[in-house]
Structure 1
Amino acid sequence: MNSAPMIAAPDDAVLHSPGLPPPGAATASVTKVPPIALGLLGLQHVLVMYAGAVAVPLIVGRALKLAPDQVAMLVSADLFACGLATLLQSWGLPGVGVRMPVMMGVTFAAVTPMVAMGTNPAIGLTGIYGAVIAAGLFAFLAAPLIGRLLPLFPPVVTGTIILVIGVSLMKVGVNWAAGGIGNPRYGDPLFLAIATFVLGVILAITRFGAGFVNSASVLIGIVVGTIVAAFFGLVDLGHVAAAPWFDVVRPFAFGSPTFDPVSIVTLCIVMIVVMIESTGMFLALAEICADPVDAARLTRGLRGDGLGTVIGGVFNTFPYTSFSQNIGLVGVTGVRTRFVAVVGGVIMLGLGLIPKLAALVEAVPQCVLGGAGLVMFGMVGATGVRILGTVDFSRNRNNLFIVAVSIGFGMIPLVAPSFFKQMPHALHPLLESGILLCALAAVALNLFFNGLAGQGAAREAVRRQAAVSAH
């Protein structure tokens, strides 16, 4: 991976061109970014992650069949907590935060298990929030120990898990494209046509666009698709008109959290995977920014993930992690100051206080989201494939068995939803999550075939796979 030029202080805002010398070159020139430009760059970070940031509350809210105003509340809460979590990581508190240009958002890894929990009448939405809070506390306390777990998660494991995450989420995107489960017009050719149109817009922008326009292709595709859908009477703005312009995000808006042991264990496993991914992101960002991350700083960053997740549970949203596309954007723009993320976090906080905006997001037709979802969720799976591309399959055929069997376990709930129907009901949130079945199988099989790698090799492997994810 190409690193950005070395600068005197990591918090100086700089821009660079491809022609500048590599890190450590004494002749590397820097250009400071004025406050207005820094604000625009912070907004760019927000726009790049926006579509992905609001996708999880839309998926969970609609899967749980919440009312439109409740789904809008989830979106507002998510944007607000995104801002808080981003400020925790970029600005930092004593002992918390990696203090680098990191934008935080809800992880897709938790979607499938949370939907399984939420659709279980014995657990519901309050059970999700209880599990999120408990998993966040676990992550906060376990942060110093995560480095010791890195050998359990080499690229053959994490690549397989991320691939299964993407494939599992594709089911959501496909159903959105058809109009959404429960829609009496499910599969209407109009829905399919609009989803295809949105997909075409995103692909065209990706092919012919440049710079920021290219980076925001999914968001632009959603906006254009919504405008087209409005001409066919598919956009209902009644809830947008009724929503206030300003309101605060209230803690525990859906009631006091409840704590189900199996759900807690499930999300704790998810948080381990999230923290392994965050470790790689921090290491990759350290290389981009020429700003080393030692063990103490890494622990502060992982505590930021944990505390951000606790905040998510308190403010009616979900587990948080660093967004890889924003780390890639740091390398593209060359702006390596953490204050660009601080500005982005403040913007996200502000957006979370505007219910009318959240209602507008909720009003986007599912067929429009379907076209975008095929790209977003497909890219998650493609990232897993890219990480698996770094794995040695030719000299170590055992890796083929690890991937093959783990994917098979991960597909069970997707292709045979009743497979575990006769198992104890308390285990269903765990057994109905293909992601967690895949993770457990991959870790166990890797230990069986390959044993444990050394700490140094594991750390370097995690850094490499994060570099792949960010680009």
Structure 2
Amino acid sequence: MQPDSDSSSELIYGLNDRPKPLAALLAALQHVLASFVGIITPPLVIGSTLGLTAHLPYLISMALMVSGVGTFIQARRPFGIGAGMICLQGTSFAFLGAVLSAGFLVKQRGGSPEDILAMVFGVCFFGALVQIVLSRFIGQLRRVVTPLVTGIVITLIGISLIKVGITDLGGGFNAPDFGAPGNLALGVFVLLTIILLNRSNTPWIRLSAIIVGLLLGSLAAWFSGKLIPQPLPDLPLVSFPTPFKFGFSFDWTAFLPVALIYLISTIETVGDLTANCMLARQPISGPSYISRLRGGVLGDGVSCMIAATFSAFPNTTFAQNNGVIQLTGVASRYVGLYIGVILFCLGLFPLIGAVLQQIPKPVLGGATLVMFGAVAAAGVRILAQSPLDRRSMLIIATSFGVGLGIAAQPNLLHLLPKLVQNLFDSAITSGGLTAIFLCLLLPEGKTAAAKSPAPLNKIEQA
């Protein structure tokens, strides 16, 4: 089928064009290549940090499988669920801090790995309801959670996660050889490789920078003796999803930080969908635009609920896939159906996860350090595009002061009720709630309101 007649010359296939199967498959594979590492890295980080090694192959399989289902729903848009565009769903980095906090809460109580997963997926399941409800109030929500608040929270998310990346680069939590020169050399090698490849003028090299960095880092670890391939565990050839495989539990102290991140994730998704509409030559105002936003955010929420049901961490619409649309000139939503099927098929084979979990911590840390730093940098970019008047600077300074201050000195709250401690000992929640409170408390000047930017593209995930 020929492209839409009203499509820009930059688009080879418009939103509703049907590319031939081979063209659609090739475009879909590029999207999968751009997102694959981003989908599997959060389960790897969470699993290794919380001691869930035995369950990692299954968690990675479910992450890929659920990403495929969510992407298919976004493209197909059944019953108005989804944006009807290429909105690749992948495991969200934004939730790492809140998920790790919930996991450590259970771990401190003496819970088993299964108890940790039951709690994490329980609070994430109910958290998805927050996003589903918010999808009905997109217009009002964007007046409360402004780009200023979003920029503050995203910056705090990145800063909080950098600790995880640098710890892995040194060898991992409680590693007997933590900080060994060999570990640091591996991590820095991966870091420099990714930086150099990202400086290339060739789009394909930039898209594959993280994959190449991990591959070269793993090879270097193998030659240096840091990576000793282990026999693959006795896993079934095909992994079938099981609802609530690890049980189901709930705790308000673990839920509230997760609910706040769902709120922020909703705002980020609005920005990403707006950018997607622009690339696909669709309206960015009016009823059809609002309908796409509502359907897209609802699709995110439904995808997250499916994820929690089938043992995958919360999903979000990946921003970097907008770059693939721009590079390929293919905006056809039918390509999203191909992407969904490919990701689902990859998730069927748990041996993929078993191989990936053998990546040494320093290698993984070198890559995640770039990713988490990119999250913080994206937050700074959003802040830089906001009108930085006296009011904004006061809100930024106070939010960063409260969030980073409490994170640096968690004993500050040890005499307060446990609920307060667990809610505010995270830089993300304490700083984010401070930003929302101050934005509501301090009225915005008319001049600043007139200069407020349009919805911003969301964080660039690896």
TM-score in terms of structure 1 length: 0.88
Displacement of 1:413 in angstroms is: 4.4
Moved more, 217-226 or 132-141: 132-141
Which residue number in structure 1 is paired with residue 182 of structure 2?
190
Alignment partner of 2:147 out of 132, 145, 155:
155
Alignment partner of 2:135 out of 143, 155, 174:
143
Shift in CA distance, 446/141, structure 1 to aligned 2, threshold 3 Å? closer
* Other structure's SS at 1:105 match: strand
Which residue number in structure 2 is paired with residue 112 of structure 1?
97
Which residue number in structure 1 is paired with residue 57 of structure 2?
72
Shift in CA distance, 126/468, structure 1 to aligned 2, threshold 3 Å? closer
Contact 2:406–2:427 (CA<8 Å) still a contact in 1? Answer: yes
Q: Distance in 2 between matches of 1:208 and 1:13?
A: 22
Which one-letter code corresponds to 1:97 in the other structure?
A: G
Which residue number in structure 1 is paired with residue 278 of structure 2?
287
Displacement of 1:117 in angstroms is: 0.9
Q: Distance in 2 between matches of 1:340 and 1:61?
A: 32
* Other structure's SS at 1:94 match: helix
Which residue number in structure 1 is paired with residue 78 of structure 2?
93
Which one-letter code corresponds to 2:323 in the other structure?
A: G
Q: Distance in 2 between matches of 1:467 and 1:73?
A: 29
* Other structure's SS at 1:321 match: strand
Cα RMSD between the aligned structures? 2.7
Contact 2:391–2:444 (CA<8 Å) still a contact in 1? Answer: no
Q: Distance in 2 between matches of 1:348 and 1:299?
A: 25
Which residue number in structure 2 is paired with residue 397 of structure 1?
390
Displacement of 1:271 in angstroms is: 1.0
Alignment partner of 2:46 out of 40, 56, 60:
60
Contact 1:15–1:32 (CA<8 Å) still a contact in 2? Answer: no
Which residue number in structure 2 is paired with residue 224 of structure 1?
216
Q: Distance in 2 between matches of 1:225 and 1:384?
A: 28
Which residue number in structure 1 is paired with residue 205 of structure 2?
213
Q: Distance in 2 between matches of 1:183 and 1:103?
A: 36
Which residue number in structure 1 is paired with residue 112 of structure 2?
none
Q: Please say if 1:337 is aligned against 2:332.
A: yes
Q: Distance in 2 between matches of 1:334 and 1:326?
A: 12
Which residue number in structure 2 is paired with residue 441 of structure 1?
434
Which residue number in structure 2 is paired with residue 169 of structure 1?
161
Which one-letter code corresponds to 1:64 in the other structure?
A: L
Which one-letter code corresponds to 2:270 in the other structure?
A: T
Which residue number in structure 1 is paired with residue 225 of structure 2?
233
Q: Distance in 1 between matches of 2:454 and 2:460?
A: 11
Displacement of 1:99 in angstroms is: 0.8
Displacement of 1:146 in angstroms is: 2.8
Contact 2:134–2:141 (CA<8 Å) still a contact in 1? Answer: no
Q: Please say if 1:346 is aligned against 2:341.
A: yes
Displacement of 1:69 in angstroms is: 2.9
Contact 1:95–1:300 (CA<8 Å) still a contact in 2? Answer: yes
Moved more, 268-277 or 168-177: 268-277
Which residue number in structure 2 is paired with residue 269 of structure 1?
260
In structure 2, runs of 5+ residues without a counterpart are: 110-114
Shift in CA distance, 128/468, structure 1 to aligned 2, threshold 3 Å? closer
Q: Distance in 1 between matches of 2:445 and 2:414?
A: 35
Q: Distance in 2 between matches of 1:100 and 1:120?
A: 38
Contact 2:34–2:208 (CA<8 Å) still a contact in 1? Answer: yes
Displacement of 1:15 in angstroms is: 2.8
Displacement of 1:344 in angstroms is: 1.6
Q: Please say if 1:368 is aligned against 2:354.
A: no
Q: What do residues 227-249 of structure 1 show as CA deviations (whole Å, max 9, x unaligned)?
A: 11112233343253644432223
Which one-letter code corresponds to 2:205 in the other structure?
A: V
Shift in CA distance, 314/236, structure 1 to aligned 2, threshold 3 Å? farther
In structure 1, runs of 5+ residues without a counterpart are: 1-5, 17-22, 24-29
Q: Distance in 2 between matches of 1:117 and 1:178?
A: 24
Shift in CA distance, 13/91, structure 1 to aligned 2, threshold 3 Å? farther
Contact 1:167–1:378 (CA<8 Å) still a contact in 2? Answer: yes
Alignment partner of 2:401 out of 408, 426, 430:
408
Q: What do residues 122-158 of structure 1 show as CA deviations (whole Å, max 9, x unaligned)?
A: 5732111111111112322331113211012222211
Identity fraction in percent: 30
Shift in CA distance, 468/9, structure 1 to aligned 2, threshold 3 Å? farther
Contact 2:89–2:315 (CA<8 Å) still a contact in 1? Answer: yes
TM-score in terms of structure 2 length: 0.89
Q: Distance in 1 between matches of 2:135 and 2:357?
A: 35
Moved more, 357-366 or 35-44: 35-44
Contact 1:106–1:319 (CA<8 Å) still a contact in 2? Answer: yes
Q: Distance in 2 between matches of 1:216 and 1:426?
A: 43
Displacement of 1:9 in angstroms is: 7.6
Which one-letter code corresponds to 2:12 in the other structure?
A: L
Which one-letter code corresponds to 1:142 in the other structure?
A: L
Q: Distance in 2 between matches of 1:135 and 1:369?
A: 29
Moved more, 434-443 or 208-217: 208-217
Which residue number in structure 1 is paired with residue 319 of structure 2?
324
* Other structure's SS at 2:23 match: helix
Displacement of 1:53 in angstroms is: 1.3
Displacement of 1:306 in angstroms is: 0.9
Q: Please say if 1:34 is aligned against 2:26.
A: no
Contact 1:277–1:462 (CA<8 Å) still a contact in 2? Answer: no
Q: What do residues 357-413 of structure 1 show as CA deviations (whole Å, max 9, x unaligned)?
A: 1111111111001111111111111111111111222xx222111111111222134
Contact 1:41–1:340 (CA<8 Å) still a contact in 2? Answer: yes
Q: Please say if 1:251 is aligned against 2:207.
A: no
